[in-house]
Amino acid sequence: MKKRDKIIYWIATLWLALGMTSTGIVQLLKTKEEVALMAGIGYPEYILTIIGTWKILGVIAVLVPRFPLVKEWAYAGFFFNMTGAIFSHLAVGHYGIDLFGPGLLIVLTVVSWYYRPTERKLTTIGVANQ
């Protein structure tokens, strides 16, 4: 892996981890603002516990070495969560700044996933070389 690719990976991954951890904590704490935001979108309060927990677990999965299948699931979860957030905001007429956070986290998710080192990638086992 090129040095440039490692730098891109770690910058994107650390910013992704920071974003997902901070929003996950806010969701787990169920701040008034976060509860009001979710209610305004039409989601029940308990969804904050589910999403916040998944985000924290996803960050752990992405950062720890090994377990490439778990990492794939974490990246997919981040992507689905953030695209769901964007579509939820759009569905209720939220535009502009409401889309920035989830949009940025989607970009960081894709960049981190794309530039991840080989040892963090899922490889096919048991396929004969042809």
State phi, psi for 2 to the nearest 5 degrees.
-70, 150
pLDDT value at 71 more than 70: yes
pLDDT value at 101 more than 80: yes
Q: Average pLDDT of 34-43?
A: 96
Q: Average pLDDT of 44-65?
A: 97
pLDDT value at 126 more than 80: no
Q: What count of other Cβ atoms lies within 10 Å of the Cβ of residue 16?
A: 26
- pLDDT at 127 (0 to 100): 45
From CA 46, how far away is CA 40, in angstroms rounded?
14
Q: What torsion, rounded to 10 degrees, do the Cα atoms 2, 122, 107, 50 define?
A: -140
- pLDDT at 6 (0 to 100): 96
Residue 101 CA from chain centroid, whole number: 11
State the pTM of this model.
Answer: 0.91
- pLDDT at 1 (0 to 100): 80
Q: Average pLDDT of 10-26?
A: 98
Domain boundaries, the chain: 3-117
Residue 125 — pLDDT band, cuts 50, 70, 90? Answer: low
